[in-house]
A and B are shown apart, each in its own frame.
Chain A
Amino acid sequence: MSSTRRPKSRSLRRTAVAATSAALAGVLLAACGSGGGSGSGTTGSGPVHIKVWAWYPQFKQVVAEFNKTHKDVQVDWVQAGVGQDEYTKLKTALKAGQGAPDVVMLEFQELPTIQLTKGLLDMGKYGANADKGNYVDWAWKQSSDGDHVYAIPVDGGPMAMMYRADLFKKYDLKVPTTWAEYKEEAAKLHKADPNAYMTDFGSDETAAGWRQGLTWQAGSRPYTYSASKLPDIGVKLNDDNAKKVYEYWGDLVKNKLVDTQSYATTDFYNGLSTGKYATYIAAGWGPGYLSSVAKKTAGKWRVAPLPQWTAGGNAQGDWGGSSFAVTSQTQHPKEATEVARELFGTSEAAWKIGIDQAYLFPLVKPILNGAYFGDKKYDFFGGQQINKVFVPAANGIGTFDWSPFQDFAYNTDTGEVGKALQGQTAWSSVNDNVQDQVSSYASKQGFKVSK
């Protein structure tokens, strides 16, 4: 299971409940007990202990690797829940003024919100800028603001199309390279088998990041935001590119060429593993997710680049990705920064654990562009070297700003998509409605909004 935290990763919530509840109890106890959050190493000799919240179960080995190679700093890892669960705890701890860990795993879209509420330490003051050249440009820009470094990127989610090679052969479908072709093949498939769909249009909040990734690919840049230029913010969620994407999917939905199941459901996993869906458009972490929820389809999937809006184009989008940030509550800013930078960093040993066992998609260039990752063959994909698709995608992603009210934006988007699905509003007005609500929310929060 494991490998897959996800953008608003509620998908795993239920399956992970049993596994994490014990850990959660631990968090609460630890939070109550240690007060300041960083535990023992405040005084005296011995290594400084840095408390880390992160959600991959495989983390245990990464931490062991770190502790083995570091003498002055030791990591105490806590599995603090996946995605939103962890953020809820973190936001509460920050509000309460105590109980936050030193280092926390955060998805990129959460960084501006937590930074703005003064929850993050500026690691730039502790030498983190030295890492700048190690990371792909768009990722570094998401976690920093000029010389201020608010997080160190860990993994990303360059998008691609996974497809069932066997079904494509059976129904004589062509692997689409443009969205227009994708639609043609969807119609062909659904006509041949009314129970099969080209894919599932994620209509829920879990998939809000997916929808965002697709508009990202189409060239939409909804926010212009920089923490150093407060209170200015640009909000433009209804430009032509975003509308193009929503109307395209709305059209597929109306013609019943795609299913409209929530991503966070067993029905969705079931669709992936029974051949109900012929493609799965997802991100660099998607292979891990897919191979864990659809084990019995091993060997039948292949990966192809994301279809393009213009033939021969090379536009890419990103869905999800995480980073290590140091919280403002840390008592050991220097050591915590060191942990955030080096837990994975460029360490090949740590990355091998991350790549092989957690399907992490590295954003650190030496690993991303290295031979080990690029040439790795995946049995689940019939031995395909899938990173030959994902790595160019990762390198082709354009920069993108997140808003500091991303949860609100995602929720609003989800609500409006829901209305369109029920036929209460037209697909063409979804983006306008979201734009109205999000920009008025931003004004209420004190931003000077330009549209």
Chain B
Amino acid sequence: MSLLRQQGPATAAPPSTVRTKGLRSPVTGAGTGRRNGRQSAHTRHQAMGLLLITPFGLLFAAFLVAPLAYAFWLSLRTSTLVGGDHFSWFANYQQTFTDPHFLAGVRRVAVFGLVQIPVMLGLALLGALIIDEVSSRLAKVFRMTLFMPYAVPAVIGALMWGFLYSPTFGPVNSLSHALGTGKVDLLGHSLMLTSLGNIVTWQWTGYNMIVLYAALQGLPREVYEAAKLDGAGQIQTALRIKIPMISSAMVLTLMFTIIGTLQFFTEPRVLEPTASSVITPDYTPNLYAYNLAFQYSEFNYSAAISFSLGAVVFIGSYLFLFAARKRSGLK
């Protein structure tokens, strides 16, 4: 924003009014403005501000910046079991994007996301619209029930589903047996992605629903009255008024979900021991990075994969937000 200010024509307008928002303008206004007695107050402010963010800054540096820097440094080196350790510039990154295991994982996750994300967010939106419309005690119960799986730790959830999917004990199989459709191998190659998708949907639908529901609650009620007067039914109100108005919340949930999906880890990791011939160590990029580091001791390559995945996530979410900038509220 400071760039914008400097490039702007030398008009009479004070700098702080040019595309600056909220809190910043008074502060910068004061700072760049008259140099008088208020200067010291400003410095005191600044010192106080610095003091207040120091604890955060230290923790941030120690637990995010430093490990990231270390991981990046690791990713620029190559150490093999017998070749020793040497600096190799971006060789690991080059390998990452030609590594069939990594690419297969990215593809698998992409296919998974293309199906699972719309289903889950569709359900979440439907749920939010329903409980927004129906304001009875039933709606509260419904809301709690849908949200509950989110409160179950992912590991427990995946373990539980691992049991439900079991070919011998699982109710799913008993049911299909009773219906005479034979054995359904929910943990086999062909159905594994579906089974995982089901776990993720079960876990996260309620969470997304609550976010959307909160956005719906924030809408002004008069709009509905106006719509009613114009002759809109409940469905029309939902489609033409409510959904467009909460689109920024929808963009938000979508983005979190995309990031979560690219980092898909817990569920396949938990089901891995039960179905290790299906969930191979390279099943998802994140799982691959984990196994490279802790099973094969390839810390360098693992770091490169993690960074590459991070880059994919970052670029992906940036592009997505850019494409959805009108709806996202980030103009």
Question: Do the two chains bind?
Answer: yes
Contact present for A445 and B82 (CB under 8 Å): yes
Instruction: List residues of A (365-405) whose CB comes within 8 Å of B's CBs.
Output: 404-405
Instruction: List residues of A (1-44) whose CB comes within 8 Å of B's CBs.
Output: 10-11, 13-14
A204 CB, min distance to chain B CBs, angstroms: 4
A89 CB, min distance to chain B CBs, angstroms: 9
Instruction: List residues of A (428-451) whose CB comes within 8 Å of B's CBs.
Output: 444-447
Chain-B contact segment, one of A168-176, A178-186, A258-266:
A258-266
Contact present for B169 and A267 (CB under 8 Å): yes
Contact present for A415 and B280 (CB under 8 Å): yes
Instruction: List residues of A (160-208) whose CB comes within 8 Å of B's CBs.
Output: 203-206
Chain-B contact segment, one of A146-154, A278-286, A406-414:
A406-414
Complex interface: chain A residues within 8 A of B152 (CB): none
Contact present for A266 and B294 (CB under 8 Å): no
B63 CB, min distance to chain A CBs, angstroms: 15
Contact present for B82 and A206 (CB under 8 Å): no
Q: Does A69 contact B (CB under 8 A)?
A: no
A73 and B218 alpha carbons, distance in the complex (Å): 69
State the main secondary structure of chain A at its contact with B.
helix
Complex interface: chain B residues within 8 A of A408 (CB): 295-296
Chain-B contact segment, one of A320-328, A341-349, A416-424:
A416-424
Contact present for B296 and A265 (CB under 8 Å): no
* A262 interface neighbour in B83, B189, B275, B281, Cβ under 8 Å: B275
Contact present for A265 and B166 (CB under 8 Å): yes
A13 and B82 alpha carbons, distance in the complex (Å): 32
Contact present for B189 and A418 (CB under 8 Å): yes
| A-side interface residues, number (CB < 8 Å) | 42
A407 and B298 alpha carbons, distance in the complex (Å): 12
Complex interface: chain A residues within 8 A of B46 (CB): none
Query: Which residue from chain B places its CB closest to the CB of A265 in the assembled complex?
Result: B274
Contact present for A407 and B277 (CB under 8 Å): no
* B166 interface neighbour in A92, A204, A266, Cβ under 8 Å: A266
| B-side interface residues, number (CB < 8 Å) | 28
Q: Does B103 contact A (CB under 8 A)?
A: no
Contact present for A264 and B278 (CB under 8 Å): no
A407 and B296 alpha carbons, distance in the complex (Å): 7
Q: Does B167 contact A (CB under 8 A)?
A: yes
Q: Does A270 contact B (CB under 8 A)?
A: yes
Complex interface: chain A residues within 8 A of B167 (CB): 261, 267
Complex interface: chain B residues within 8 A of A204 (CB): 273-277
Complex interface: chain B residues within 8 A of A411 (CB): 280-281, 291, 295
**Assuming A262-B273, A264-B273, is B296 touching A405 (CB within 8 A)?**
yes
B73 CB, min distance to chain A CBs, angstroms: 14
Contact present for B163 and A266 (CB under 8 Å): yes
Query: Which residue from chain B places its CB closest to the CB of A420 in the assembled complex?
Result: B277
Q: Does B159 contact A (CB under 8 A)?
A: yes
Q: Does A231 contact B (CB under 8 A)?
A: yes
Contact present for A447 and B81 (CB under 8 Å): yes
A-contact bits for B70-90, CB 8 A (1 contact / 0 none): 000000000011111000000
A254 CB, min distance to chain B CBs, angstroms: 16
**Assuming A418-B189, A445-B81, is B169 touching A270 (CB within 8 A)?**
yes
Q: Does A426 contact B (CB under 8 A)?
A: no
B-contact bits for A236-274, CB 8 A (1 contact / 0 none): 000000000000000000000000011011110011000
Contact present for A230 and B297 (CB under 8 Å): no
Query: Which residue from chain A places its CB closest to the CB of B278 in the assembled complex?
Result: A418
Complex interface: chain B residues within 8 A of A261 (CB): 167
Complex interface: chain A residues within 8 A of B294 (CB): 88, 91-92
Complex interface: chain A residues within 8 A of B168 (CB): 266-267, 270-271
Query: Which residue from chain A places its CB closest to the CB of B292 in the assembled complex?
Result: A408
**Assuming A116-B81, A404-B81, A446-B82, is B297 touching A421 (CB within 8 A)?**
no
Contact present for B81 and A206 (CB under 8 Å): no
Contact present for B82 and A414 (CB under 8 Å): no
Complex interface: chain A residues within 8 A of B275 (CB): 204, 262
Instruction: List residues of B (172-212) whose CB comes within 8 Å of A's CBs.
Output: 188-190
Contact present for A267 and B189 (CB under 8 Å): no
A231 and B275 alpha carbons, distance in the complex (Å): 35
Complex interface: chain A residues within 8 A of B147 (CB): none
**Assuming A204-B275, A206-B276, A407-B296, is B81 touching A117 (CB within 8 A)?**
yes
A450 and B275 alpha carbons, distance in the complex (Å): 33
Q: Does A113 contact B (CB under 8 A)?
A: yes
Query: Which residue from chain B places its CB closest to the CB of A9 in the assembled complex?
Result: B273
A154 and B208 alpha carbons, distance in the complex (Å): 53
Contact present for A407 and B166 (CB under 8 Å): no
Q: Does B299 contact A (CB under 8 A)?
A: yes
Complex interface: chain A residues within 8 A of B163 (CB): 266
Complex interface: chain B residues within 8 A of A14 (CB): 159, 273
* A446 interface neighbour in B80, B278, B296, Cβ under 8 Å: B80
Q: Does A300 contact B (CB under 8 A)?
A: no
Contacts A/B (CB < 8 Å), 27 sampled: A84-B295, A91-B294, A95-B297, A95-B299, A116-B81, A117-B81, A204-B274, A205-B273, A230-B82, A261-B167, A262-B277, A265-B273, A267-B166, A267-B167, A270-B168, A404-B81, A405-B296, A408-B296, A411-B281, A411-B291, A415-B280, A418-B189, A418-B276, A418-B277, A424-B189, A445-B81, A447-B81
Question: With contacts A231-B82, A418-B280, A422-B189 known, what are 4 further pairs, Cβ within 8 A?
Answer: A10-B273, A91-B297, A265-B166, A444-B80
User: Lowest 9 A-B CB distances belong to which pairs?
Assistant: A418-B277, A446-B83, A205-B276, A446-B82, A10-B273, A204-B276, A446-B80, A445-B81, A267-B168
